[in-house]
Every structure is written in structure tokens, then in C-alpha cells.
């Protein structure tokens, strides 16, 4: 059920992008991955574990799109850029503060087997990014459940 809901949110993000794009973006498949990340609480200035999921859009065996679900919140679509060191996904919606999500380098076949990295959000337009989630580790058991067919 959760996979279906996340896929629907991913599809909605793609639909929104398609409505505004001249070229149509399409994906061949999706993969969902569960992570446990560190979240720095502003209340007590301590790191706390938080469980998130990421839905990845796959095209021609390349991961081209990511969308994160953090509690009940869902990020806008984050699009893969050409950063050579890691898989990096960046939001492109001018109405929303820029977000960036990273994972270790991985193909579509490997994305369910590697750790994530960080989620950062632009502090102000054109400004530095604040790290919201850090040290995101793959949760193999939860990932396997998400991708069961």
C-alpha cells in the first residue's frame, strides 16, 4: 500500500513536470529504498534517528529521479544531475527552496544496495544549503519488504 501511495506521488510529480516541459519525461520503472538517517533536532541540538523512504525513477537502467518521504512529508521531484562523485538529485521547482539528495554511486540495479548520504535544503534563495538529514544508511530489511512483488 505504501509503495502504491509513493508511486502515485512520484507520478504526480512527473505529471506536474510534464505539463510544464516541452519534452516529455518518462520513466521505465521505479525502485523504493528505505534508509535510517540522522536528524539534528533544533529543540535539543542532538541527532536523532529518523526513518525515510526514497522512490527512484528509472530510465534506460539509469536512476534519473528521486522523491523522498519523511514521515508524512514528501519532497518535490529531485532530478539527477551530472555530479561525478555521487548520485546527486536536485529540485528544479522555482517556487520551492532548492533541495539536494545524495546517494553513493549506483546504477538502477544497485540503488537498493547502497547507502544514501544527505538531504540539504537551501536556507535562502541563492544561499547555502542547510543539512537536514545526514549519514543515511540503507535499511536492507525494510527495502526488501518495499520491493516485494
pLDDT tens readout for residues 86-117:
999 999 888 778 999 999 999 999 999 999 99
pTM of full prediction above 0.85 = no
Bridge partners (DSSP) listed for residue 34: 53
The Cα–Cα gap between 113 and 97 comes to 29
Query: What is the rounded average pLDDT of the residues 15-37?
Result: 72
Q: Are 80 and 100 in contact (CB under 8 A)?
A: no
Does residue 106 or residue 11 have the better pLDDT?
106
Amino acid at each position: 500500500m505504501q509503495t502504491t501511495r509513493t508511486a502515485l506521488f512520484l507520478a504526480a510529480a512527473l505529471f506536474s513536470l510534464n505539463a510544464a516541459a516541452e519534452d516529455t519525461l518518462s520513466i521505465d520503472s521505479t525502485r523504493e529504498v528505505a534508509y535510517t538517517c540522522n536528524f539534528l533536532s533544533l529543540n535539543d541540538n542532538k541527532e536523532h534517528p529518523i526513518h525515510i523512504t526514497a522512490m527512484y525513477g528509472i530510465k534506460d537502467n539509469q536512476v534519473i529521479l528521486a522523491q523522498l518521504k519523511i514521515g508524512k512529508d514528501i519532497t518535490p521531484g529531485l532530478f539527477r544531475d551530472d555530479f561525478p562523485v555521487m548520485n546527486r538529485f536536485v529540485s528544479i521547482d522555482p517556487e520551492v527552496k532548492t533541495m539536494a539528495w545524495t546517494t553513493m554511486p549506483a546504477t538502477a540495479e544497485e540503488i537498493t544496495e547502497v547507502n544514501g548520504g544527505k538531504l540539504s535544503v537551501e536556507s535562502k534563495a541563492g544561499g547555502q544549503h542547510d543539512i537536514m538529514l545526514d549519514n543515511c544508511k540503507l535499511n536492507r530489511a525494510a527495502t526488501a519488504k518495499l520491493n516485494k512483488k
